[in-house]
């Protein structure tokens, strides 16, 4: 804004003028449509991202939990774990043993047959080096 003294011929006016100073300026009509299109695009991307996150979670119908593990032997490791699943379907779980550097030193898949929704299993797997942890890597329905 430029301020001019009224007694000396100055007045306060915007530097770039007012809308009335620019009669050739078109009216802003498409603003709502642009905002609506942006809103729809954001909703589509958010829905897509939600789907990707849901799909990445895997199969939530199988719940596994490690109870205990034993890494006292250099050539094998043991684990006791629980699996909760639908009783009419079987499941496959992969157990994994890692060393101190989190490198896999042994793994195998365990098949749990259909029948009974709860299973508590104790398994031992061969390892190529001393394991420091054993866990259920994943479980899925078959």
The model's pLDDT over 62-115, given as tens digits with 9 standing for 90+, comes to 889 999 999 999 899 999 999 999 888 899 999 999 999 999 999 999 999 988
Average pLDDT, the chain: 85
Query: Right CATH number for 63-141 from 1.10.460.10, 1.10.630.10, 3.40.50.300, 2.60.40.3230?
Result: 2.60.40.3230
CATH 2.60.40.3230 maps onto the chain at: 63-141
- Whether pTM > 0.85 for this model: the answer is no
**How many beta carbons lie within 10 A of that of residue 64, not counting itself?**
21
Cα distances (Å, whole numbers) of residue 140 to 46, 72, 93, 123, 137: 27, 29, 7, 18, 11
Order of all β-strands in the sheet with 63-70: 63-70, 76-84, 118-126
Helices (H), the chain: 31-56
């Amino acid at each position: 804004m430029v301020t001019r003294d009224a007694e000396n011929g100055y007045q306060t006016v915007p530097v770039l003028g007012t809308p009335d100073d620019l009669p050739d300026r078109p009216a802003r009509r498409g603003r709502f449509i642009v905002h609506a299109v942006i809103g729809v695009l954001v909703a589509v991307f958010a829905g897509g991202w939600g789907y990707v996150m849901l799909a990445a979670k895997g199969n939530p119908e199988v719940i596994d939990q490690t109870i205990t593990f034993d890494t006292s032997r250099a050539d094998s490791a043991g684990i006791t774990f629980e699996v909760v699943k639908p009783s009419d379907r079987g499941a496959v779980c992969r157990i994994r043993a890692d060393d101190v550097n989190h490198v896999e030193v042994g793994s195998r898949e365990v098949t749990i047959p259909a029948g009974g929704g709860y299973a508590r299993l104790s398994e031992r797997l061969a390892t190529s080096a001393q394991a420091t942890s054993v866990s259920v890597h994943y479980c899925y329905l078959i």
